Amino acid sequence: LRTRAPVVTVMGHVDHGKTSLLDALKSTDIAAGELGGITQHIGAYRVTLADGRAITFIDTPGHEAFSEMRSRGAKVTDIVIIVVAADDGIKTQTVEAINHAKAAGVPIIVAINKIDKPDIDIERVKNELYVHEIIGEEAGGDVMVIPISALKKINLDKLEEAILLIAEMQDLKASPFSSAAGVVIESKIEKGRGTLTTILVQRGTLRKGDIIIAGSSYGKVKKMTNDKGLEIAEATPSVPVEIQGLNEVPFAGDKFNVVQNEKQAKDIAEYRMRLAKEKKISIAPRSSLEDLFLKASGNSKIKELLLIIKGDVQGSVEAISGSLLKLPSDEIKLRILHSGVGPITESDVSLAHASSAIIVGFNVRAGANALTAAEKEKVDIRYYSIIYNLIDDVKAIMSGMLDPIVREQYIGSVEIRQIFNITKVGKIAGSYVTKGIIKKGAGVRLLRDNVVIHEGKLKTLKRFKDEVKEVREGYKCGIAFENYEDIREGDTVEVFELIQEQRQL
């Protein structure tokens, strides 16, 4: 294994300088100097610093794209930089970016941009970040907060140092010697050039002429171009390249692998397409309140209910969030991934899709695009206008997610009066139901002199020669036990059922 360059995604509010920061960071690339800057837009850039170390930046077009990649299982980024304008502070999109980054579970660096402007208040921005649980190192937290100016190129070196420090702590390594694998960043069709796909190599070395499969797309790498617009023959881990040669456009976030030959690639692609069709036909709503208990995490005792809350006013959103977080349960963890004021957006839907969360709207509705996305991704959106109805609904699903109490209920007693040895069947106990009822699927305990000597289930329950499901008090029957034959005249049998009782919060 060898050390690889960190992969960094830059996110933030549309007017806070994300593009300016990317452009400024690209200008620090010593490899771009002689080429007059990087002009090739391939959605990802590799910046080589003066000491030879490199950083790869992913330029995602928005939070939706970031979450869409994550929803496909792609671990694309090592670090997220959140850009916040020093003269504007935290905005809705900033909060969305923070929550998307938190949901991805990667380290966050905050770049407070536009510090060259007059009338800025960096402390106010830090306090606003604190409200959203982004706590800087100087306040005892673990988030690096770097004041910068993308326009004047102030403190870009400090930002790059912060990235490299976190990368060093993460100990990022990959083998360049294996077959290449990685992830699709973006893909498009261009007239005269065919399918152009930007990929990030995550392990191994990708070479011109390799056969690759990405999702249900496949083909031979006919040409590889780097972020400087230069044609290259190979790409190692953390290197982004644009390739030509795939038969169709893959999705952003699809994983790619090098395979032995085109036939193997085609077979895998066809299998994946069949699987996708079957999944589309059989797919159920992703996370409805009624069946969210399915999100129980494997063997873990603690289950998780994930919510996104949108409301008409901040006061309502805060009241709802506060009430929900007070709901008591040691076994169900309720987590609010994102909350905010305003209509339900596509970004909310993409975050819910990526995280299997439910969207709750209080006196707000989803826009047309968000509704279309929710239908496509089978994301559950719920609307409420009365707070206690919302709380009761969430409480009900949390109760439904609790493991039920299993209680034993006595239903009858049987007295064994005669033993029959039947060829090929074994011992049958001629019995009499003295109390209650005996059922074939019920649990039974065999008692001798009031001491339990066996507990199990019945193999056979008969009235005369007929198999029956149950026999009531005052009637005779023939019984045989599963895997047990030490029965005697005078033994008694207790019959019981296991009753599951739903618990309430």
CATH number at residue 303: 3.40.50.10050
Query: For residues 397 and 388, what is the distance between their CA atoms, to the nearest angstrom?
Result: 14
Model pLDDT, residue 333:
87
Q: Do both 9 and 132 map to the same domain?
A: yes
Same domain, 15 and 156: yes
Count of residues making up the chain: 505
pLDDT on residue 205: 97
Please, are residues 87 and 16 in contact by the beta-carbon 8 Å criterion? no
Largest CA distance in the chain: 101
Domain that holds residue 360: 292-401
Question: Helix axis angle, 346-355 relative to 368-377, nearest 10°?
Answer: 20
Q: Residue 351 and residue 358: Cα distance in Å, rounded?
A: 10
Residues 196 and 219: their CA atoms lie apart, in Å, by 12
How many domains does one find in the chain?
4
Considering the entire predicted model, what is its pTM?
Answer: 0.62
pLDDT at 296: 45
- Asked if residue 198 and residue 71 are part of one domain, the reply reads no
Whether 82 and 93 have beta carbons less than 8 Å apart is answered as no
E runs forming strands in 376-467? 381-384, 405-422, 426-439, 443-448, 451-463, 466-467
Q: Is residue 214 part of a domain?
A: yes
DSSP 8-state secondary structure symbol assigned to residue 344: B
Phi, psi of 390 (to 5 degrees): -65, -50
Using CA atoms, how far residue 295 sits from 279, 303, 338, in Å, is 18, 7, 19
224/344 same-domain check: no
Could you tell me if 142 and 224 lie in one domain?
no
Return the DSSP state at 54.
Answer: E
CA distance 497 to 492: 17
Residue 386: inside a domain: yes
Contact between 400 and 296 under an 8 Å Cβ cutoff? The reply is no
Q: Quick check: is 222 in a domain?
A: yes
- Are 49 and 187 in the same domain? no
pLDDT along the chain (505 residues), means of 10: 93 83 81 44 81 88 62 78 93 86 91 93 92 90 94 94 96 94 86 88 96 94 93 96 92 89 92 75 45 46 86 78 83 88 90 93 93 93 90 88 84 95 86 95 92 91 92 95 92 92 71
Give me the CATH number covering residue 211. 2.40.30.10
CA pair distance 295, 356, nearest whole angstrom? 8
Percent helix, strand, coil in the chain, to 5, is 25, 40, 35
Alpha helices by DSSP H, listed for 175-261, are: none
Is residue 287 a part of any domain in this protein? no
Query: Is 411 found in the same domain as 397?
Result: no
Please tell me the predicted confidence (pLDDT) of residue 64. 56
Residue 148 lies in a domain: yes
DSSP 8-class letter at 24: H
Task: Provide the 10 A C-beta neighbour count for residue 500.
Answer: 10
Q: Quick one: 121 and 96 in the same domain?
A: yes
**117 and 150 fall within a common domain:** yes
* Residue 317 counted as domain residue: yes
Q: What tokens were used for 300? A: 């873990």
Q: Do 33 and 147 reside in the same domain of the chain?
A: yes
Measured CA distances, 296 to 301, 305, 307, 332, 400 (Å): 8, 9, 15, 9, 11
**Domain end among 252, 282, 312:** 282
Contacts of 340 (CB under 8 A, 6+ apart): 92, 95, 96, 309, 310, 311, 317
